[in-house]
Amino acid sequence: DGGITQSPKYLFRKEGQNVTLSCEQNLNHDAMYWYRQDPGQGLRLIYYSQIVNDFQKGDIAEGYSVSREKKESFPLTVTSAQKNPTAFYLCASSKPPPGQSTRGEQFFGPGTRLTVL
């Protein structure tokens, strides 16, 4: 079955440590996204990538980094510079029609809940 996988589902980190969240998709989608969701809040865009080896900052990129070496994978690293990293992280993907901005829907993974101890 095609879909998006995120691992792990729960992640615990000590203060001062970097941690990498995995996101893999087998939908053959070009674009991938990372969002952060805090309790009772909406989604905030961290980073997005429309093609391999290219990515753009979203609204809250500080303290995060990404890479896009393969079409299927878009890992997110939460660095020690992120002051309040405890949150629910969602990865998504979409396949914009050629020549258009994102008009199609995004497909979401199940999320990773990160807790800093």
8 binds another protein (CB under 8 A): no
Name the β-bridge partners of 108: 92
31 binds another protein (CB under 8 A): yes
79 binds another protein (CB under 8 A): no
48 binds another protein (CB under 8 A): yes
User: Where does this chain touch another protein (CB under 8 A) — which range of 11-19, 66-74, 76-84, 99-107?
Assistant: 99-107
96 binds another protein (CB under 8 A): yes
**Intra-chain end-to-end CA distance of the chain, in Å:** 36
Residue (4 or 21) nearer to another protein, CB: 4
Show the tokens assigned to 29.
């989608």
Q: What is the nearest approach in angstroms of another protein to the Cβ of residue 86? A: 15
From residue 89, give the alpha-carbon distance in Å to each of 28, 83, 103.
22, 15, 23
Nearest 5°: CA angle at 92, between 97 and 78? 135
Give contact residues for another protein (rule: CB under 8 A): 4, 6, 31, 33, 40-43, 45, 48, 50, 58, 90, 92, 96, 100-111, 113
